[in-house]
């Protein structure tokens, strides 16, 4: 019982009541005690009981010790010394409220009663003390139960909050992946449509180039025959021959047709690469040539590999292709992984261009042989690890990645690019495609100043 709890219960009782420690410290009194002593309650609290009684300190201590060690009411006698010097003899009834423990002193409730009062008051006080003790015990149990309930509630709220946050993160990632997949599907359909629309007129031009070349050669032969049969030409024709520089025209027209043929063949190659990259007809598992997928990706990104103005020099691509079998995989998704990693490598080299400095390629798994400094390069290496696994390594000689960034590379929405230039999903989706979809591995090896290398390992067959 605390002094506050004592006062809460004792203030309505007419009997003089004191709450003292086992050492005799007055912790609290009610108003009747203060009236007996002729003092205010604030003047009594905190003083020793010995100051207000005529009995010896030794006798009072023994009485309090008896009260502390007994479960029953201990009867005693105390002679109170009033503030004006008068003394009054009271019968004291002491009951322990809180037994002594190593952590706290005993708390003793003393009831003072004039000897002329009836003993019925003693019985009534015993009942009230018992009720008081029960109420204190009940309150303690209620406080403990409330404390335990609060702790359990906090744990449940924390667990539920964590679960909800994880669910929210999963939903956000799933939603973003669905949007990304829809974008890739739409992009594939658009690429296939554009490739089809371009392929028709290009095929028409390419098919007619041969006939146009043959017709032109026939006309040139006719001109040569005319020159042989009529060596003396009229002045008007001679002037026109000089005006058009006929000899140069005859020599250059063959080169012109050859360049047009090369140009149309180039367009056909680009169209083929676009169609192969989209792989709309290969959503399911299919055997493909991994090198073809890499080459198609490089064809699409060729404009970013070329020198642009004076700011970005040409990025040289070094291919070290091994002998690989056809791989059973999801070709379109695998091409998406190649695209994401190569684009990141190009971005890293462009960032390095601002410093006009490049490192040597990261030597973790590549041979690090001819990637020199101050020359932006990407090295792509493939190899057959064994009969069941292949590896694809894509390394650049940019400025590299520190450990803090590298540890978060595959986290969803993590990006080091400026706002609007990256979603932080490219490598996360790539990781999902390689690890979850193809049961493979995707790892990054990099240290600052030594470039970065991404190593893809996938099984030859998922069947």
Over residues 88-107, the mean pLDDT reads: 86
- pLDDT-based confidence at residue 323 (cuts at 50, 70, 90): very high
Domain 3-117 in this protein, CATH class:
alpha beta
pLDDT value at position 456? 95
Q: Quick one: which H or E segment has residue 4?
A: helix 3-10
Kindly report which listed range (13-22, 169-178, 239-248, 450-459) carries the lowest average pLDDT score.
Answer: 169-178
Q: How far is CA 36 from CA 14, 42, 77, 134, 171, in A?
A: 12, 14, 16, 29, 75
| Pick from 25, 208, 5: nearest CA to 108 | 25
- pLDDT-based confidence at residue 373 (cuts at 50, 70, 90): low
Average pLDDT for the chain: 81
> Is the separation of the CB atoms in 417 and 328 below 8 Å?
no
| Pick from 15, 22, 90: nearest CA to 52 | 90
What are the structural domain ranges in the chain? 3-117, 162-276, 279-459
The correct answer on CATH 3.30.565.10 for the domain covering 279-459 is: yes
Count Cβ atoms within 10 A of the Cβ of residue 221 and give its class: 0-12 exposed, 13-18 middle, 19 or more buried: exposed
Report d(CA 197, CA 443) in Å as an integer.
39
Please state the separation of Cα 32 from the chain's center in Å. Answer: 68
> Is the separation of the CB atoms in 423 and 367 below 8 Å?
no
Enter the pTM of the model.
0.47
| Pick from 441, 459, 289, 439: nearest CA to 365 | 441
The phi-psi region of residue 311 (left if phi > 0; otherwise alpha if psi is between -120 and 50; otherwise beta) is alpha
- And the tokens for 156? 């449940």
Half-sphere exposure of 52 (CA within 13 A, CB side): 26
Q: Mean pLDDT highest for which of 85-89, 259-263, 277-281? A: 85-89
Report d(CA 206, CA 201) in Å as an integer.
8
Higher pLDDT, 305 or 393: 393
- And the tokens for 140? 């303690």
Over residues 21-42, the mean pLDDT reads: 88
Higher pLDDT, 413 or 112: 112
Q: Which tens digits make up the pLDDT trace of 132-181?
A: 888 888 888 888 889 888 888 989 898 888 888 888 877 876 776 666 66
Q: How far is CA 421 from CA 132, 347, 434, in A?
A: 73, 10, 24
Q: Quick one: which H or E segment has residue 92?
A: strand 87-98
- pLDDT-based confidence at residue 318 (cuts at 50, 70, 90): very high
pLDDT value at position 365? 47
Which residues are CB-contacts of 285 (< 8 A; sequence separation ≥ 6)?
A: 328, 329, 330, 462, 463
- And the tokens for 211? 């006939």
The position carrying tokens 């090896």 is 445
Q: Is the pLDDT of residue 96 over 70?
A: yes
pLDDT value at position 370? 45
pLDDT value at position 424? 62
Higher pLDDT, 296 or 356: 296
Count Cβ atoms within 10 A of the Cβ of residue 306 and give its class: 0-12 exposed, 13-18 middle, 19 or more buried: exposed
């Amino acid at each position: 019982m605390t002094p506050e709890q004592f006062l809460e219960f004792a203030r309505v009782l007419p009997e003089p009541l004191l709450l003292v420690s086992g050492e005799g410290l007055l912790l609290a009194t009610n108003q009747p005690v203060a009236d007996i002593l002729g003092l205010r309650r604030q003047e009594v609290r905190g003083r020793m009981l010995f100051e207000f009684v005529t009995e010896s300190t030794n006798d009072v201590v023994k009485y309090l010790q008896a009260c502390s060690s007994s479960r029953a009411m201990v009867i005693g006698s105390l002679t109170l010394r009033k503030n004006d010097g008068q003394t009054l003899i009271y019968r004291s009834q002491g009951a322990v409220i809180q037994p002594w423990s190593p952590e706290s002193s005993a708390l003793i409730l003393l009831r003072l009663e004039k000897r002329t009062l009836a003993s019925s008051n003693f019985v009534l006080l015993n009942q009230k003390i018992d009720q008081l003790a029960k109420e204190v015990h009940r309150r303690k149990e209620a406080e403990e139960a409330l404390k335990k309930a609060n702790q359990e509630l906090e744990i449940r709220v924390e667990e539920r909050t964590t679960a909800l946050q994880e669910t929210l993160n999963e939903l956000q990632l799933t939603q973003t992946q669905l949007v990304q997949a829809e974008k890739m599907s739409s992009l594939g359909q658009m690429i296939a449509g554009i490739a089809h629309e371009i392929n028709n007129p290009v095929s028409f031009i390419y098919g007619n180039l041969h006939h146009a070349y043959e017709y032109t050669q026939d006309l040139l032969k006719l001109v040569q025959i005319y020159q042989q049969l009529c060596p003396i030409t009229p002045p008007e024709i001679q002037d026109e021959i000089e005006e058009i520089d006929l000899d140069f025209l005859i020599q250059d027209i063959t080169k012109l047709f050859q360049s047009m043929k090369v140009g149309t063949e180039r367009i056909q190659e680009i169209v083929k690469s676009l169609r192969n990259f989209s792989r709309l007809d290969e959503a399911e598992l299919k055997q493909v040539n991994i090198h073809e997928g890499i080459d198609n990706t490089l064809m699409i990104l060729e404009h970013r590999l070329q020198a642009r103005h004076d700011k970005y020099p040409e990025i040289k691509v070094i291919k070290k292709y091994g002998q690989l079998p056809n791989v059973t995989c999801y070709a379109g998704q695998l091409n998406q992984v190649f695209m994401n990693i190569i684009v990141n490598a190009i971005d890293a080299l462009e960032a390095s261009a601002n410093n006009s400095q490049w490192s040597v390629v990261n030597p973790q798994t590549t041979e690090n042989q001819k990637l020199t400094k101050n020359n932006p390069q990407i090295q792509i290496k493939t190899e057959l690890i064994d009969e069941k696994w292949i590896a694809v390594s894509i390394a650049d000689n940019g400025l590299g990645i520190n450990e803090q960034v590298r540890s978060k590379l595959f986290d969803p929405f993590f990006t080091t690019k400026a706002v609007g230039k990256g979603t932080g999903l490219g490598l996360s989706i790539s990781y999902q495609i390689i690890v979850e979809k193809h049961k493979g591995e995707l790892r990054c090896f990099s240290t600052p100043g030594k470039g970065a290398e991404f190593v893809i390992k996938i099984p030859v067959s998922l069947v």
